[in-house]
Amino acid sequence: MNRLKEKWRKRERRHGRVRRRVFGTPERPRLTVYRSLTNIYAQIIDDIAGHTLAAVSSLSPDIKKDVAYGGNRKVAAVVGQKLAEKAKVIGIKEVTFDRGGYKFHGRIKALADSARKHGLKF
Residue 102 resides in a domain: yes
Q: Could you tell me what percent of the chain has a pLDDT over 90? A: 83
Give the neighbor-by-neighbor strand order of the sheet with 96-98. 51-57, 40-46, 30-35, 96-98
- φ/ψ bin of 25: left (φ > 0), alpha (ψ from -120 to 50), beta (otherwise): beta
Provide the number of structural domains found in the chain. 1
CATH code: domain of residue 105:
3.30.420.100
Cβ atoms within 10 Å, residue 8: 11
Mean of pLDDT values over 52-68: 94
Mean of pLDDT values over 44-64: 95
Rg (CA), the chain: 14
Residue 31 resides in a domain: yes
Residue 122 resides in a domain: no
Domain that holds residue 62: 2-117
| pLDDT in the model for residue 1 | 65
